[in-house]
């Protein structure tokens, strides 16, 4: 009898020699193929199924014989009967010992680190290897002279799973003895970071869930994931209840300053929303909230501070000092997040700088692998502030531009959030000067309706106002400074003076939802000009810092970034020139990044590393920023800084028919709109 | 100029060569003399004062010249003026740099690890080196582009104090920025275990306090200590409010079983008592409760479990499984202990076994250093259970004997706790058979009063009942089986039948507090016999296990152990034979041990090590225990197992005048009695 046997693992092709009588589980691990095993080889979990291949394998010089593996014992036979397994085709790799050479097929679902595909971008695969993991242990019953129940569990974690020196959340101790007895001296343990037991189930369990949340100023968007498989079980959004304390971030900073317990109220409001979100997601997924053991949070710096109960007042003015930028692990209950497991943990992603928060870290985490050495890559997340990441030659710079909330429909006379009834698309006939529009929740253009029909718009959302102003410019209704032209005021009945400034009637009173005409005012145009100039100046500032003159790719993150038509964004001059084909949305990249950090401890650590390498440029004090800002106020298509746009302009002007509008996901839109 | 200079430190005599221009602080540290410095060498705290000696030191071959140390700079001069220091006599060792050879006197109060003397036993010195320590840091103010406030503090902890990679309790973040600005960019940090910041003060502070508590079934006794100096600032006791749920431990276990939220009620009650104790101790010491950052708890296993909110039901029957015996670090707020610093920590000492708790660990920690290889050393802590430690030849065994609460005055007809009015001493005239007694709170014997005076006793406490029964035996009122003798019943008017059994009138009705005669009944005698037999059998069992036949020393721990007269304990047979001179009380050894673990991280770690080396013997299932127990029921002075007692008996019988009563501390007694 040979002392060692050759093992070939398919489909990886990994092979090597292992000791006689090694289990297939151990053999595979020793060859670098990590097979899943919750029960630590006790033939309970059935996660480690493999298919031994029998026959001659000339390629490997192996005869893989049935007698080269131990036959199933009574436990394995019982397991197979109860679970409908054919032991001729597959075996529990923890039970089958190697007696000779073998070729073994390890199916994907038996791998410890499963591949999770990031659906949104469809391009990133991550190995599911979260900070929290399951371990099933069986211990001896308590006898006179036994060590304590916890001591024996701790020993079992070491001997059965190789997890050494682990502690237990003291608040689990009250329930430990009953749980252990309910499980007849077996429990399934959730271990955090191989350091601490944070949950205990009686007997065998596969329940281990996590929640990744992008805490936006307006919306909290969460993914509830199975931490064993990486699967997304529910995607749930909830309004940020802080909105009642101020639409934009600076209003919330002020609220905290003006009200003695304002910070605490905002903190408690967002924590309550997190609790509600966790409960809603768990209900949607049909799981118990107690089984959620880990939460990853991303948010801008003001959200970050309010989440942690920190007064954001220092972020309201120079020098914009953060209390803390590093990643934080905090006990969920310390945060007041009680809708998850009692011992559950929260990981708050790190911030980059005073105005570039953990949401941007998440965006960076979700996209950094797509950066190319020779491409100047711009990622913009447009909200109340626009957070800008510019990557080139392995270096990433970042800045935050104070766009204000105009892009979100605030500070616009008939502006509103993107919700059912909001005008999201606008076209103006160059010949007649007549506008038509589409509203969220309806696929029809306003001019395709019968006379007695109306879309009953309630207002204009960010993408709508951008298209309206760009179209007004394209048809000559406003000039390059943004002012209504005398010609338009004289000749177009839909353009009128209101006091000293002009406005365009986009929807007549009898067609709107509330019987009032929806107009685009001179002030609206000015607000958008200020916002877009800020965004443009921020990007330009970073380009100057990196000494690059052209952009190779632009990606727009966040909700607004998904809805905006890049063509119109460029006509208005929100972003510098770029090949239109190279401008795209990346959806909820912040949410994707948070999910990566939830599913993979490696990605979680990487977030901190990435953040530390980012070079931050403070727009607030760069004299160049002010210059760039002022210079960017005009509506720029006539300038020679937009070669890609000039090339496209005739098409824009002639067609403008909406065919080019960006693809969007109806599901998400509908969820947002309800 | 020499590259290195010779430094001699007095009084230690340590010497060596250090680099030119080293500070005296650094020089001393490099030579193994750790000088205290809260401010990390910033000339703020003044803790590092030393006295350079100037002159010829032939013995060391050194000329210690004034020019061999840098003169004071402006900061040091200012510090000296503000604090009334004479810089000719002493210097801040962090400010004075060495330019040549020096002899330097380092006073005791400037040492980092001060010596704290354990007052109670007066024999143990401990180096004050607690798990929590202070660090004063100054950081740069926040500027544009600065790292976060916490990041800069963390860096300062590393560079100014050598504390690397420390985290911060996330719940301190909300107050961090304001504290830092209040302190004008300087803060004093409390670091726990060199791992985590658990408290932050604005500017310079020396406030760092800790509380060591022996959580007894009846009383919580706490020492509030200055963690910088080791000084005890307050010693405070409070009743354990769990008493209302059951006098003895088994009643509390039952209460938890019989009431759906009984465990939670008992847990909350003891936590509330801890909060009250912390508040009372802080008030007594004149400090703020927020400045208490660390708490060490000791208690028997039932108290240990209830402290942690664990149902002690498993401790109520075999196999007496503990949920957890290891030492536990738990956030005070997780325990509901909110009367201390928000980030404060609690350390619960480890337990030894199902019936030998953390209180015994503390006793062991406080006394193990006194064990001698060739002496058989017995330490007994008498409460509802008697916990027994027997040490010999470097080995420690332990057991717990179910004495029941008789020694605490329970299960005794007129028994009561040791409080004002309780009879604590009893003598019976061998000629007349008339008893006399003393009560707690009065120094006089009952027979020394005028006829119209009375001590108005309210009942009999543990030491009183033991003396009463022992004296009854000595005068022949009861026999060796504990029964009243026919002769006594016939001839002594104070001995009467009550139904089928006898009783002795200790206090006639007209002399007692409530007008009812205080008697010692046959049942009382039986209860004490059962209790003493259990204690004796436990000790004997351990002696048999260790194969020793005689005891070299007996120490009685706890309150009861302090009050009991060893002579009477031995006449009744509570403990095996021992030279009476070698029997003594060790006072609140559990409290002393808890204090050691509070003041020294080394002692804290040692507690766990000691516990792991103890051999536990389970009395409940040892057949030998039952045999020993039955055999020990008799009152044994006539046996030949008490050679020391036989020798002393005439003295006992003849004098019996009370001169030999054990010394006690009036202060403690008075506190207990109020």
- Give the number of other CB atoms < 10 A from CB of residue B229: 16
Q: What are phi and psi of B205, to 5 degrees?
A: -150, 150
Q: Is A605 on the interface with B (CB under 8 A)?
A: no
Min Cα separation B36/chain A (Å): 30
Chain B positions touching A620 (Cβ under 8 A) are 144
Asked if residue A118 lies in contact with residue A232, where contact means CB atoms within 8 angstroms, the answer is no
Q: How confident is the model at residue A640 (pLDDT cuts 50, 70, 90)?
A: low
Secondary structure of chain A: what % helix, strand, coil (to 5)? 35, 25, 40
Distance from the Cα of residue B232 to its chain's centroid: 12
pLDDT score of B652:
41
CB B177 to CB A151 under 8 A?
A: no
- What is the DSSP code string of A429-443? -TTT--EEEEETT--
Question: Residues near B359 by Cβ (< 8 Å), separated by ≥ 6?
Answer: B214, B215, B216, B298, B299, B300, B303, B381, B387, B590
Each residue's pLDDT tens digit, B515-574: 999 999 999 999 999 999 999 999 999 999 999 999 999 999 877 788 888 889 988 999
- In this structure, the strands spanning B196-202 and B167-168 are parallel
- Inter-chain CB proximity A171 and B334 less than 8 Å: yes
In order of A237, A296, A337, B171, B197, the CA distances from A308 in angstroms are: 20, 13, 11, 8, 16
Q: Extract the tokens encoding A267.
A: 């903190």
Comparing C-alpha atoms, which of A193, A232, A532 is closest to residue A329?
Answer: A193
Sign of the four-CA dihedral A112, A113, A117, A123: negative
pLDDT at residue A516 in the model: 93
| B149, B171, B330: residue with CB nearest A323 | B149
CA distance B593 to B359: 8
CB contact at 8 A, B644 and B554: no
> How far apart are the C-alpha atoms of B205 and B190, rounded to whole Å?
10
Q: How many CA atoms lie within 13 A of B487 on its CB side?
A: 8
Q: Which two tokens stand for residue A545?
A: 């810092």
Alpha carbons B396 and B382: distance in angstroms, whole number? 18
- B328 CB neighbours in chain A (<8 A) are 170
Q: A residues 343-382 near B, CB within 8 Å?
A: 351, 353
SS3 content of chain B, % helix, strand, coil (to 5): 35, 25, 40
DSSP H/E element including B196:
strand B196-202
Residue labelled with tokens 């009334």:
B84
What does the block give as tokens for B374? 């060739």
Tokens found for residue A395: 């270096």
Q: What integer pLDDT is reported at residue B404 of this predicted model?
A: 81
Are A20 and A1 within 8 A, CB to CB? yes
Question: Are residues B257 and B316 in contact, defined by beta-carbon separation less than 8 angstroms?
Answer: yes
The pLDDT assigned to A249 comes to 85
User: Crossing angle, helix A358-367 and helix A601-613, to 10 degrees?
Assistant: 110
pLDDT at B133: 95
Question: Which one, of B160, B48, B157, B151, lies nearest residue B104 by Cα?
Answer: B48
Distance CA B311, CA A181 (A): 13
Query: CA quadruple A248, A250, A254, A257: dihedral positive or negative?
Result: positive
Are B326 and A621 in contact (CB < 8 Å)?
Answer: no
Question: Which residue in A470, A618, A629, A621 sits closest to A540, CA to CA?
Answer: A629
Calculate mean pLDDT across residues A440-451. Answer: 92
CB-CB neighbors (< 8 A) of A178 in chain B: 311
d(CA A267, CA A142): 45
Residue A40 DSSP one-character state: S
A173 closest CB neighbour out of B170, B171, B323? B323
Residue linked to tokens 């406003």:
A478
From chain B, the residues in CB contact with A149 under 8 A are 321-324
Q: Residue B465: pLDDT above 50?
A: yes
Nearest CA in chain B to A319: B144
Measure Cα distances from B285 to A578, B4, B272, B673 in Å: 71, 47, 20, 21
Residues of B in contact with A330 (CB under 8 A): 170
Question: Would the pLDDT of A653 be above 50?
Answer: no
Nearest chain B residue (CA) to A149: B323
Residues in chain A: 674
Residue B466: its H or E element: helix B462-474
Mean pLDDT of chain B: 90
B325 touches chain A (CB under 8 A): yes
Nearest beta carbon to residue B321 from set A148, A326, A353? A148
Residue A288 has pLDDT above 60, yes or no: yes
Task: Please give the residue of chain B at the shortest CA–CA distance from A307.
Answer: B174
Examine the pLDDT at A674 and tell me if it is beyond 80: no
Q: Which value does ipTM take for this structure?
A: 0.85
Q: How many CA atoms lie within 13 A of A553 on its CB side?
A: 18
Contact A300, A249 (CB under 8 A): yes
- For residue A652, pLDDT over 80 is answered with no
Helix (H) or strand (E) holding B667: helix B666-673
Determine contact, residues B369/B511, Cβ cutoff 8 Å. no
Rounded to the nearest angstrom, the gap between the alpha carbon of residue A171 and the centroid of all alpha carbons in its chain is 31
**B107: three-class secondary structure by DSSP:** coil
Detail the DSSP E strand segments found in A413-482: 422-428, 435-439, 459-460
- What backbone phi and psi angles, to 5 degrees, belong to A416? -155, 170
Contact A50, A94 (CB under 8 A): no
Question: Which of B304, B208, B230, B332 has the alpha carbon at shortest distance from B592?
Answer: B230
pLDDT score of B434 = 95
- List the 475-514 stretch of A: residues with Cβ below 8 A of B: none
Residues of B in contact with A344 (CB under 8 A): none
What percent of chain A is modeled with pLDDT above 90?
70
Distance CA A89, CA A82 (A): 16
3-class secondary structure, B341: coil
A177/B311 CB distance under 8 A: yes
> How buried is residue B545: exposed, middle or buried, by Cβ count under 10 Å (0-12/13-18/19+)?
middle
HEC string of A532-547 equals HHHHHHHHHHHHHHHC
Query: What is the per-residue pLDDT across A223-237, written as a single tens digit (0 to 9) for each?
Result: 999 999 999 999 999
Interface touch B151/A326, C-beta < 8 Å = yes
Q: Predicted confidence band at B217 (pLDDT cuts at 50, 70, 90)?
A: confident
- Cα distance from B651 to chain A (closest Cα, Å)? 45
Q: Report, in angstroms and rounded to the nearest whole number, the Rg of chain A calculated over CA atoms.
A: 30
In the predicted structure, residue B121 carries a pLDDT above the cut 80: no
Contact B174 A310 (CB under 8 A): yes
The structure tokens listed for A229 are 């498989």
The CA distance from B172 to B166, in Å, is 14
How many CB atoms neighbour CB B393 within 10 A? 12
CB-based contact B620:B320 (threshold 8 Å): yes
Q: Does B326 touch chain A (CB under 8 A)?
A: yes
E-strand stretches of B12-114: 15-19, 49-53, 55-57, 62-64, 91-92, 102-105
Please name which of B356, B377, B363 lies closest in space to residue B617, comparing C-alpha atoms: B356
Length of chain B in terms of residues written = 674
Using one digit for the tens of pLDDT, what is the confidence trace for B626-650?
999 999 999 876 555 777 776 655 4
Instruction: Report, as an integer, the average pLDDT of B658-667.
Output: 40
pLDDT at B647: 63
Contact B321/A173, CB-based, under 8 Å? no
Q: What residues contact B513, with CB distance under 8 A and at least 6 apart?
A: B421, B456, B457, B458
A563-621, pLDDT tens digit by residue?
888 889 988 999 998 998 999 888 888 999 999 999 999 999 999 999 999 999 988 88
On average, the pLDDT of chain A sits at: 90
Q: How many CB atoms lie within 10 A of CB A460?
A: 29
Query: What is the band of B82 on the pLDDT scale with cuts at 50, 70, 90?
Result: very high
DSSP string of B489-507? HHH-TTEEEETTEEEEEEE
> Which of A153, A148, A143 is closest to B353 using CA atoms?
A148
Contact B148 A324 (CB under 8 A): yes
Exposed (0-12), middle (13-18) or buried (19+): which is A122, by Cβ within 10 Å?
exposed
Given the structure tokens 């408290």, which residue do they identify?
Answer: B199
**Residues 6 or more apart whose Cβ sits within 8 Å of residue A289:** A278, A279, A282, A339, A340, A341
pLDDT at B170: 97
What pLDDT was estimated at residue B639? 54
A330 touches chain B (CB under 8 A): yes
Q: Which residue has the tokens 């529009």?
A: A437
């Amino acid at each position: 009898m040979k002392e060692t046997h050759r093992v070939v693992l398919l489909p990886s092709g990994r092979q090597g020699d292992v000791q006689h009588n090694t289990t297939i589980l151990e053999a595979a691990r020793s060859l670098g193929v990590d097979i899943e095993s919750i029960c630590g080889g006790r033939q309970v979990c059935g996660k480690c199924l493999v298919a031994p291949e029998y026959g001659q394998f000339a390629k490997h010089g192996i005869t893989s014989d049935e007698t080269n593996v131990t036959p199933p014992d009574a436990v394995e036979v019982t397991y197979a009967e109860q679970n409908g397994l054919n032991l001729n085709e597959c075996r529990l790799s923890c039970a089958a010992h190697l007696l000779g050479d073998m070729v073994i097929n390890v199916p994907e679902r038996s791998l410890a680190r499963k591949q999770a595909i990031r659906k949104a971008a469809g391009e990133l695969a991550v190995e599911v290897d979260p900070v929290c993991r399951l371990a099933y242990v069986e211990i001896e019953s308590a006898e006179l002279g036994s060590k304590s129940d916890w001591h024996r569990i701790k020993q079992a974690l070491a001997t059965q799973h190789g997890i050494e020196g682990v502690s237990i959340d003291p608040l689990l101790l009250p329930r430990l003895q009953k749980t252990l007895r309910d499980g007849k001296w077996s429990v399934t343990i959730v271990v955090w970071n191989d350091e601490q037991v944070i949950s205990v189930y009686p007997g065998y369990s596969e329940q281990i869930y996590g929640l990744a949340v992008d805490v936006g100023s307006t919306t909290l968007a969460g993914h509830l994931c199975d931490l064993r498989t990486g699967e997304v079980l529910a995607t749930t959004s909830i309004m940020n209840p802080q909105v009642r304390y101020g639409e934009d971030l600076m209003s919330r900073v002020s609220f905290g300053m003006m009200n003695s317990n304002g910070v605490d109220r905002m903190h408690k409001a967002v924590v309550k929303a997190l609790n509600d979100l966790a409960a809603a997601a768990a209900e949607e997924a049909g799981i118990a909230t107690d089984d959620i053991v880990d939460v990853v949070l991303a948010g801008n710096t003001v959200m970050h501070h309010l989440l942690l109960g920190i007064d954001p007042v220092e972020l309201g003015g120079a020098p914009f000092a953060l209390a803390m930028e590093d990643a934080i692990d905090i006990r969920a209950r310390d945060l007041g997040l009680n809708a998850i497991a009692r011992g559950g943990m929260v990981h708050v992603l790190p911030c980059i700088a005073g105005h570039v928060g953990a949401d941007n870290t998440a965006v960076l985490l979700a996209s950094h692998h797509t950066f190319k050495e020779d491409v100047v890559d711009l990622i913009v997340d447009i909200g109340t502030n626009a957070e800008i990441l510019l990557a080139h030659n392995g270096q990433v710079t970042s800045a935050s531009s104070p766009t204000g909330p105009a892009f979100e429909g605030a500070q616009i006379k008939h502006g509103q959030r993107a919700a059912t009834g909001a005008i999201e698309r606008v076209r103006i006939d160059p010949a007649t000067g007549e506008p038509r529009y589409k509203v969220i929740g309806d696929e029809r253009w306003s001019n395709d309706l019968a006379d007695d029909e109306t879309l009953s718009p309630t207002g204009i959302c960010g993408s709508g106002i951008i298209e309206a102003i760009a179209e007004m410019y394209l048809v000559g209704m406003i000039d390059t400074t943004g002012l209504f032209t005398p010609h338009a005021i004289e000749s177009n009945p839909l353009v009128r003076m209101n006091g000293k400034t002009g406005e365009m009637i986009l929807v007549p009173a009898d067609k709107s939802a509330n019987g009032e005409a929806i107009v685009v005012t001179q002030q609206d145009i000015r607000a958008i000009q200020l916002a877009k100039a800020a965004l443009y100046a921020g990007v330009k500032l970073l380009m100057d810092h990196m000494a690059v003159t052209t952009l190779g790719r632009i990606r727009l993150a966040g909700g607004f970034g998904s809805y905006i038509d890049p063509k119109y964004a460029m006509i208005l001059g929100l972003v510098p020139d770029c090949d239109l084909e190279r401008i795209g949305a990346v959806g909820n990249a912040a949410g994707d990044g948070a999910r990566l950090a939830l599913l993979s401890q490696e990605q979680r650590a990487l977030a901190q590393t990435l953040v530390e390498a980012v070079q931050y440029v403070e727009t607030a004090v760069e004299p160049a920023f002010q210059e760039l800002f002022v210079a960017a106020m005009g509506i720029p298509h006539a300038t020679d800084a937009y070669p890609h746009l000039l090339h496209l302009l005739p098409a824009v002007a002639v067609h403008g028919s909406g065919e080019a509008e960006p693809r969007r996901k109806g599901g998400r839109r509908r969820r947002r709109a309800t």
